[in-house]
Amino acid sequence: MRIAITGGTGFVGTHITRHFVHQGHEVYVLTRNPDKHPNTDQVKYVGWLKDEFKPEEELPPLDGIVNLAGENLNSSRWTEETKQSIMNSRIQATEAVLDLIKTMEQPPGVLVNASAVGFYGTSRSETFTEETTTPGDDFLAKVVTEWEKRAEQATDYNVRTVYLRFGVILGDEGALPKMALPYKMMAGGPVGDGEQWMSWIHIQDIVGMVDFSLNNENVSGPMNATAPEPKRNKELGQTIGKVLNRPHWLPVPSLALKGALGEMSILLLQGQYVYPQKALDLGYEFKYATLEPALRDILCD
C-alpha cells in the first residue's frame, strides 16, 4: 500500500510509520520541515501546511491517509490563546487533508483521522461506546466534535472515513513516563481521590487499530481506540507501583493540581469509562487487553 501520514514524526506517528515500513508498504510523511528528515527507500518526507509546498504534486495515488496532526494537549497551561491553538491546529490540519483529497484525480480509499475519547465528556458512572452519540459539554468535547465534523467531509469524495477516538496512550513517550516518574522516586500515589476512570491503550494497539482501520472495509465512523479494561486512577497507580516494585502511598491533592494547571487539570482529575465495542464486534484482537502486561512490556523493557 501507499500511505500518507500527517503528524508522522511524533510519538504515535513514528510507531505507525515503523510498522508500515516493516510490512513493506510505502509511507509518505507530510511535514512542515521535510528537509530535516532524510528520505529512505520506503519513507519519503513531503512538505505541507506552508505556501511554498505543493504536496499534491509530490504524492502518488494513495491507498490511505492517516491524519494525526494536532498540537499537544499538555504542552502548556490552557490559556484562552492555547485553547484556540489546540482547536485550530486540528481543524486546519484536517481541512488541509480535505484540500489534498479534493485535488487528487484518484482519492484515497480511506482516511483514518485521529480523534479522542474526550468526545464523551467526563463521568464516573456512565459507560461510553460508539453508540453514545451525544458529546460532552467541556472544552475537549467541543474540540473533538469540530474535529470529527471536518473529517466527515471526506465521505463527500467517496473516501471511507474512520475517527479513531484515542484513549490515554501508554508507551515509552507521552503520558506514562510522567505517571511513572513519582513511583521511581518513591513518591507515587493517587491523583485527587483516585476514583476517576482512565481509558488507556498500549501504543502497539494504537498501531494495530490504525492498520485494522485501513484494511477492514467494515470500519467507518467513530471507533474507540481503548483497551477493554479501563481502570480507575488509583488502580492504575497501584499497578505501576507493583510493576516497578515501588509504593503507592502519596496522594496528589486536587486543589494543588487545579492551582498549578488550571483547566488543563481535567486531563488528570476527570475521566471516562470508554469501551471499544465496535473494535471487538468487528474482530480486532488486542495485543494488550489488560493493564499489568501492558505496563510490564513498557516499563520493564
In this predicted structure, what is the pLDDT of residue 46? Answer: 97
* Distance separating alpha carbons of residues 217 and 9, to the nearest angstrom: 27
- Beta-carbon neighbour count of residue 259 at 10 Å? 10
**Predicted structure pTM score:** 0.96
In this predicted structure, what is the pLDDT of residue 191? Answer: 95
What's the pLDDT band for 257 if we cut at 50, 70, 90?
Answer: confident
Give φ, ψ of 175 to 5 degrees: -75, -35
The pLDDT mean for the chain works out to 96
In this predicted structure, what is the pLDDT of residue 293? Answer: 98
Q: Per-residue pLDDT for 74 more than 90?
A: no
Show Cβ contacts of residue 230 under 8 Å, excluding neighbours closer than 6 positions.
167, 197, 198, 199, 200, 273, 274, 275
Are 209 and 284 in contact by the 8 Å Cβ rule? The answer is: yes
Cell of 143: 474540540
Are 194 and 232 in contact by the 8 Å Cβ rule? The answer is: yes
Q: Per-residue pLDDT for 301 more than 80?
A: no
What's the pLDDT band for 272 if we cut at 50, 70, 90?
Answer: very high
Domain range annotation of the chain: 2-299
Q: CA nearest 250: which of 182, 155, 179, 158?
A: 182
- Per CATH, the homologous superfamily of domain 2-299 is NAD(P)-binding Rossmann-like Domain (3.40.50.720)
In this predicted structure, what is the pLDDT of residue 194? Answer: 96
